[in-house]
Structure formats: C-alpha cells, structure tokens
Amino acid sequence: MLKIKNLHCNINSIPVLKGLNLTINPGEVHAIMGPNGSGKSTLASIIAGNENYEITQGSINFSNNDLLDFSPEERSHLGIFLSFQYPVEIPGVSVSNFIKTAVNEHKKINNSKELTSTELLKLMKSNLKLLDMDPSFLSRSMNDGFSGGEKKRNEIFQLAMLQPKLSILDEIDSGLDIDALRVVAAGVNKLRSDSNSFIIITHYQRLLNYISPDFVHVLNDGKIVKSGDAKLALELEEKGYDGL
C-alpha cells in the first residue's frame, strides 16, 4: 500500500530525513518511535503533502500512485489521513459543517452521491458514540477552545467519518489523560480492519499497550535504525534509545 524508498528531505536547507525506507501493507499497524527531533513528525507531514519540506531524493508510492505528484487534498481523496499533533483552530466553523464539507468533497471526487444532512447526522452520531463524545460537540467551532483531549478525539472522530485507507496518528497520546487515551485507543481499534493501515507515531510505549502494533520502528537522525515487533517497544521502554 505504502512504499517509501530512500527518502531525503530538507527544511530550510537543513536535512531532516536522510534515506528513510518503509513499506506498509494493507491491514498492518506500524509504530514509529524515536527521540525528539529524529524526524517522526516530518515523515507524517511529508506523506500528507506539507509543502514546507523540500524532497531532495527518493520516492513515495501509495496504491500504485507516485504520491509526490499529488496535492494534499488529492492525497486525502486517495485515502490518506493525518491526525495532527497540534490540530488547528478554525473559529466559527462548526465541527458538523467542517465534516460535512470534507465528507462531501470526498464523495464528489469519487463520483458518489453526496450524503444528505440526515444521513450525515446519523453517521456522525454513531461515530461520536464510538468515541464517547456528546452530540453537542458537533455545533462547537473546530478545535476552538477545545481541551487537548477534545482536540485529539476530534481528530479520531474525523478519521472515523472519512474512513481512510492509511491513517497516520501523530502523537495522538500527547496531552491525553489515561481515561481519554483508553477511549481514543478503543476508537482506533474499532476502526482497524484487514484493509486499513495505521502509522502510529509516539514517544511512549504506553499507547502501544492499547493499540498493539504489528511492527515497531525506531527512527533516529532521519533514518530507521531498528525494526521489530511489539517487543521492541518494551525493550525501548526499559533501556531507552541510548541502549540500542
């Protein structure tokens, strides 16, 4: 599904990724861990199409498309979803209006019928339940005045609504208390399937107690330096990155 080959990139002429390789198959959950500044969030941004990064070498292939040729919204239409580490606020735009616009843009691109307000509301309500959220949430402004936990739930809520093929969760656990973490993780687990894949970027092994990954990769200095299964995360918890 996703094939990243020898990816190099710069931000403001400073190299951040230095030859990264990663392959993800349908249904797999990959965790990416690594110290601060190792390039984890950069990787997420690049897959989503953030143009502040200059790709100097390498390729990203997604479902037989050369992803680097696609704009951010086209990548979204292809089925890529990024759960942001810091979701932005859009004052005055309600969650329901935002989601409605997003969902219907996807429908338009795929030549399927746009959902009516009633159909959407039904879908929204069932997904809210999944994340233990109150329906009043729908009429609030996007991320405006949201707590850290609410912002993260809102990200997963959108994920549930858009049903992407590849979801990248960038530090979904930061700023979450343990109860919220459980709810969010449970939500993600319900959305897992044989055809959907996830990239989970995190600092802490704790999240992986709730969402068990098929693979764990350690990113350091712009490259994947070690890969393994879920046990690798436990090892990291014990020894730290320096212990590798």
Partner 1 sequence: MEKKDEKKIIAEITEQSYKYGFVSKLDSDTIDKGLNEDTIKLISQKKGEPEWMLEKRLNAFKLLKTMKPPNWANLKFDEIDLQNIIYYSAPKKKASLKSLDEADPELLKTLNKLGISIEEQKRLTGVAVDVVIDSVSVSTSFKEKLSELGIIFCSISEAIKKYPELVKKYIGTVVPPKDNFFAALNSAVFSDGSFCFIPKGVKCPMELSTYFRINEAGTGQFERTLIIAEENSFVSYLEGCTAPQRDENQLHAAIVELIALDSAEIKYSTVQNWYPGDKDGKGGVYNFVTKRGIAHKKAKISWTQVETGSSITWKYPSCILKGDDSIGEFFSIAVTNNYQQADTGTKMIHLGNRTKSTIISKGISAGNSNSSYRGLVQINRQAKNSRNFSQCDSLLMGNKCGAHTFPYIKVRNKSSVVEHEATTSKIGEDQLFYCNQRGIGNEESIALIVNGYCKDILQKLPMEFAIEAKKLLEITLEDSVG
Is residue 76 part of the contact set for partner 1 (CB under 8 A)? yes
Contact pattern from residue 154 through residue 193 relative to partner 1, giving x for each residue in contact according to CB under 8 A and a dash for the rest: ----x---x-------------------------------
Among 15, 19, 27, 87, the residue binding partner 1 under the rule CB under 8 A is 87
State the pairing for strand pair 14-24/29-33. unpaired
Closest distance to partner 1 from the beta carbon of 62 (Å): 13
- Number of residues this chain uses to bind partner 1 (CB under 8 A): 34
Q: Which stretch, 55-63, 82-90, 170-178, 199-207, contacts partner 1 (CB under 8 A)?
A: 82-90
Cα distances from 26 to residues 125, 166, 210, in angstroms, run 28, 8, 20
**Of the candidates 10, 21, 141, 209, which one interacts with partner 1 according to CB under 8 A?**
141
β-strand partners of 14:
11
Pairing label, strands 141-142, 65-66:
unpaired
Distance, CA of 117 to CA of 136 (rounded, Å): 16
- Answer for the pair 74, 106: CB distance below 8 angstroms, yes or no: no
Nearer to partner 1, 164 or 213 (CB): 164
Nearer to partner 1, 171 or 208 (CB): 171
Those residues whose C-beta lies under 8 Å from the C-beta of residue 99, and which sit 6 or more positions away, are 120, 124, 157, 158, 161
Q: Which stretch binds partner 1 (CB under 8 A): 83-91, 197-205, 221-229, 235-243?
A: 83-91
State the nearest-atom distance from the C-beta of 155 to partner 1, in Å: 10
| Residue 224, phi-psi category: left (phi > 0), alpha (psi -120 to 50), beta (remainder) | beta
Applying CB under 8 A, does 148 fall inside the site for partner 1? no
State yes or no: residue 21 binds partner 1 (CB under 8 A): no
Amino acid identity of 210? Y
Separation of alpha carbons 211 and 20, rounded Å: 24
> Does 50 sit near partner 1 (CB under 8 A)?
yes
CA distance 236 to 244: 8
DSSP 137: G
Smallest gap from Cβ 242 to partner 1, in A, equals 33
CB 218 within 8 A of CB 34: yes
| 243 contributes a contact to partner 1 by CB under 8 A | no
* Footprint of partner 1 (CB under 8 A): 48-52, 69-77, 81-82, 84, 87-88, 90-93, 97-98, 101-102, 105-106, 109, 141-142, 158, 162
